[in-house]
Amino acid sequence: MRWPVALLLLALGCPTPAIYREVQPGLSCERATRVTYRTLVQLGYTVTELVPATLEHGGMVAGTKTQPDGSTTAGRVRISCDREGAVMTPVEEALVPTYDFSRGFGYSFKTLVQRPDVEEPHAERGLQILVHALEPHEAILDLGGVPTVGGAILVRVTVRNHTDRAIAIDPSRIELVGAAGTSAVALAGPALAAALAPGPGGDRVRGEPLRAGRVAARTTVAGFLVYPAGSYREARVGVEDVETEETEGLVTPVE
């Protein structure tokens, strides 16, 4: 009878000592799920499963990570919450756990929960552009549903114009560049309509596109763009000085 019990424990994951559980009074279910997701990503895990926590049922975020020796490890965190707050419990998958995953998760979670969920450009002066490609699970958390179909890439563009001059931004002048050097422009018209999913995720993108127009001095604008399926590493952005009508090309990483 001992072997079946041992196998059952292995399948369920090793119980985590209370010292490694992350207890956060006042933390909402939605934000507990969001920060848990961001923590696993920061630790180098590719998220493979995400169940948002609610007051009615617990949640879970799981992922895998490739080690330097080529082996793959799994990480999983259970989330329980109520109106008082949330508890995040890392699950050790090994039969004889080292609790390295639990310690790493707790340290990173404590740091990330103090920061905003959406990082914005933070330059105190000058022009800063942030181009962020939303991963599928991240999009579900941020937008309430799957935003695109057919592998189309959803990008959030944030432009902070912390200068004394107005600039002009045109989505057609924002190209994403892949590792091979090939570039792509944002989808528009029928191609964009076909790439957007039905439901709340797609509706958010339809309602909050990055529009062509001016960005006044000392203001910030943001919006979504959708690109063809691919892997992109940087964005080339054409920015026009409204007063001189001169265009300057900027290069920024796709984060």
The CATH number of the domain holding residue 141 is 2.60.40
131 and 249 belong to one structural domain: yes
Which letter, b or e, does each residue of 70-80 get, where b requires 16 or more Cβ atoms within 10 Å of its Cβ? Answer: eeeeebbbbbb
77 and 152 belong to one structural domain: no
Rounded Cα gap, residues 200 and 32, in angstroms: 21
What is the model's pLDDT at position 122?
54
Contacts of 65-74 with CB under 8 Å at 24 or more apart are 73/101
Length of the chain equals 255
Identify residue 89 by its one-letter amino acid code. Answer: T
Percent of the chain with pLDDT over 70: 88
135 and 240 belong to one structural domain: yes
The DSSP result for 88-102, as a single string, is EEEEB-SSS---HHH
10 or 82, higher pLDDT: 82
Q: How many domains, the chain?
A: 2
99 and 143 belong to one structural domain: no
- Give residue 17's pLDDT band: very low, low, confident or very high (50, 70, 90): low
Look up the pTM and report it: 0.71
What is the model's pLDDT at position 248?
87
Structural domain for 51, as ranges: 2-112
Lowest mean pLDDT among 33-37, 119-123, 236-240, 249-253: 119-123
Whether the CB-CB separation of 110 and 97 falls below 8 Å is answered with no
Q: Which of 112, 135, 150 is the last residue of a domain?
A: 112
Task: Return the structure tokens found at 180.
Answer: 């091979």
Angle between helix axes 136-143 and 29-42 (nearest 10 degrees) is: 160
144 and 92 belong to one structural domain: no
| Residue 120 belongs to a domain | no
- Give residue 120's pLDDT band: very low, low, confident or very high (50, 70, 90): low
Cβ count within 10 A of residue 227: 23
| Residue 118 belongs to a domain | no
| Residue 174 belongs to a domain | yes
Cβ count within 10 A of residue 118: 12
| Residue 204 belongs to a domain | yes
Task: Return the structure tokens found at 186.
Answer: 């944002």
142 and 85 belong to one structural domain: no
Cβ count within 10 A of residue 238: 15
Cβ count within 10 A of residue 2: 6
| Residue 117 belongs to a domain | no
Identify residue 135 by its one-letter amino acid code. Answer: E
User: What letter does residue 30 receive in the DSSP assignment?
Assistant: H
- Give residue 11's pLDDT band: very low, low, confident or very high (50, 70, 90): very low
Mean residue pLDDT across the chain: 86
Q: In what order do the strands lie in the sheet with 46-51?
A: 22-25, 85-91, 72-82, 59-66, 46-51
- Give residue 5's pLDDT band: very low, low, confident or very high (50, 70, 90): very low
- Give residue 67's pLDDT band: very low, low, confident or very high (50, 70, 90): confident
For the domain that residue 77 is a member of, what is the CATH number? 3.30.310.80
Which letter, b or e, does each residue of 140-152 get, where b requires 16 or more Cβ atoms within 10 Å of its Cβ? Answer: bbbbeebbbeeeb
Nearest in space to 43 (alpha carbons), one of 61, 31, 55, 27: 61
